[in-house]
Structure 1
Amino acid sequence: MTKEQIIFLHIPKTAGTTLREIVYAQYAVDRITPIYRDERFMDMETFSQLPPEKKDAADIFIGHFAYGFHQHLSGNRPYKYATMLRHPIARGLSLYNHLKNLQFAGSEISFSELLKNKGSQFRNNQSRYIAGWGTQKMLETAIQNIEKDFLFVGITERFNESLLLASHDLGWQLKPYKRRNVTSTMWATNYADQLRNDKESMQELQKLNTIDMQLYEYANKRFSQQIASHFPNAVEKLLHFENRLHQAA
């Protein structure tokens, strides 16, 4: 494992729930601090009030918080950030399906109406997480933050490769896992398919994520360079890992 405390930004709908389970397979449970606005977990307000020794005890933090979380730490231990990014359109479709099936179940709310209630979640949300809330120059700041403070940035569409990179960057062991919270298979109605066939809504979704698309393209290129640099035999290693996954299924 790395000597730094790892701050894992769980950006919604980027396979973070699956990642959270993988985290629990990598670290001792008393060295993990999940932070969510959910009664099962600690929230940010409670964490901020913890004494320094409690904060220092964690080796990894994971939750729906943005860059800047390190300001709540004691400063006694070094830190690095980590996260997963997903293609912005795929993420937007997954988010729409999630909201329509959960928060707006039984409602005939349209995509344009949904944006009035949840617009910020669809608008360059990944860039805002990595740049930090309220940042004006989101793309520039997000890239600067990645280059300066992120030890690991995975790609959801390249999930197994991401775990391979995590084995190098975070010292994780490659272990079999199960996909969790996959919205396309959780409910009977897949609203993402309906939205995908709505040309006007898809154009709006693309306009809302122009910065996220640039960030994703940068991160994907960076990811490919890291895989090539760290794993000259990446294809062989990935094939071996995926064979283990198939055997464990």
Structure 2
Amino acid sequence: MDLKNQYSDDSFVIFLHIQKTAGMTLQRYLRKQFGPGLVRRIWWKISKDPRIDGDVVTAARARRKSDGFFAGHFAFGMHENLPKPATYMAFFREPVSRVISLYKHSKNDEGSYYHEFAKNQDLRGFVTESGLMELDNGMVRFLCGEPGEYFINRVPVGSVDDAMLKKAIENFDRYFFFGGIQEMFDESFLLLAQKLGDTDPKYLTLNVAKPNAGQPFDDETKEMIRRSNAYDMTLYDHVKRRFERELAEAFPDLDQRLDRLQTANTAYNGRTKTLNRMKIAINRNRAGN
């Protein structure tokens, strides 16, 4: 298997985007690092290039080494369809928080993939009655993978076991050059940027939910989610330990690095929002003429 757990200049990066783990922000950053730029993406769309116009497997198989990276909601194993040598990356989130975030997104966004499952359900009903595998140790399922199945491991709900957890941890340790922590996003971003050789890291904040938006959830339901995602809790703790060790080794001056990142982000996001407002005003003016 031509996979590794280190990034180098010849690596093809595979971003395994687990739902509700900062994917939009990271995908924009990876495009900034690797491309394609906006003009190229527009051309891909116009020309119906399979790298953007096909299903996820077709899009993966159409990727070239020069494309640099591939991202999406898929399981470990997608590397079989992508250029080599390759290495994986992913962000992870405390499992109860991830399930709640997926529920709120699914319930409130009519265009979300699972809206029909959530729109008439409370949180407990969404988890216990939907039968969605993503809510049943979904992070382990994504990292474990399944031969011939590129979205998620599809063992029945309640059937994730010790062997699957062991496989998920083994895949992470052997084939992931980076595992970030959602709750420590800025620290994770700094570490990712360093691994990619980015000396001027900054990111554009995208698709961020308002903190504590919506109704509170009872402790009994949250404990039920925690118990039913016990394997995800173990995987999350494992990833977090490695992350914290790598972070401490990489940044003895972490507080200063974070201050610089936050200053750069404030300026970067401010400039971008100003440009976007100008574009909107220009387009409205054109529409009125």
> How does the TM-score come out when normalised to structure 2?
0.71
SS in structure 2 at match of 1:84: strand
Aligned-residue offset at 1:80: 0.4
Identity across aligned pairs (percent)? 30
Q: For 2:15, which of 8, 14, 19 is the aligned residue? A: 8
Q: What letter is aligned with 2:25?
A: T
SS in structure 2 at match of 1:92: helix
Residues 109-188 of structure 1 mapped to structure 2, 5 A cutoff? 109-115=121-127, 116-132=129-145, 133-134=153-154, 137-184=163-210
Query: 1:171, 1:6 → 2: CA distance?
Result: 14
1:127/1:142 contact within 8 Å kept: yes
- Residues 4, 49 of structure 1: CA spacing in aligned structure 2 closer, same or farther, 3 A cutoff? closer
Cα RMSD (Å):
2.6
Aligned-residue offset at 1:58: 2.2
Aligned-residue offset at 1:128: 1.2
- Determine the structure 1 residue equivalent to 2:26: 19
1:97/1:184 contact within 8 Å kept: no
- Determine the structure 1 residue equivalent to 2:71: 62
- Residues 82, 49 of structure 1: CA spacing in aligned structure 2 closer, same or farther, 3 A cutoff? closer
SS in structure 2 at match of 1:57: helix
> How does the TM-score come out when normalised to structure 1?
0.82
Alignment size in residue pairs:
231
Unaligned 5+ segments in structure 2 are 1-7, 42-51, 110-114, 146-152, 155-159, 271-289
1:94/1:184 contact within 8 Å kept: no
Residues 1-249 of structure 1 mapped to structure 2, 5 A cutoff? 2-29=9-36, 42-47=54-59, 50=62, 54-73=63-82, 77-102=84-109, 103-104=115-116, 107-115=119-127, 116-132=129-145, 133-134=153-154, 137-184=163-210, 190-191=213-214, 193-194=215-216, 196=217, 198-248=218-268, 249=270
Query: 2:99, 2:119 → 1: CA distance?
Result: 19
Aligned-residue offset at 1:125: 0.8
Query: 1:8, 1:67 → 2: CA distance?
Result: 10
Aligned-residue offset at 1:205: 1.0
- Residues 46, 174 of structure 1: CA spacing in aligned structure 2 closer, same or farther, 3 A cutoff? same
Q: What letter is aligned with 1:15?
A: A
SS in structure 2 at match of 1:29: coil
1:163/1:174 contact within 8 Å kept: no
Q: What letter is aligned with 1:110?
A: D
Over residues 94-140 of structure 1, what are the superposed CA-to-partner deviations in whole Å (9 max), with x where a residue is unaligned? 11101111214994323343232253121111111112125852221
Unaligned 5+ segments in structure 1 are 33-39
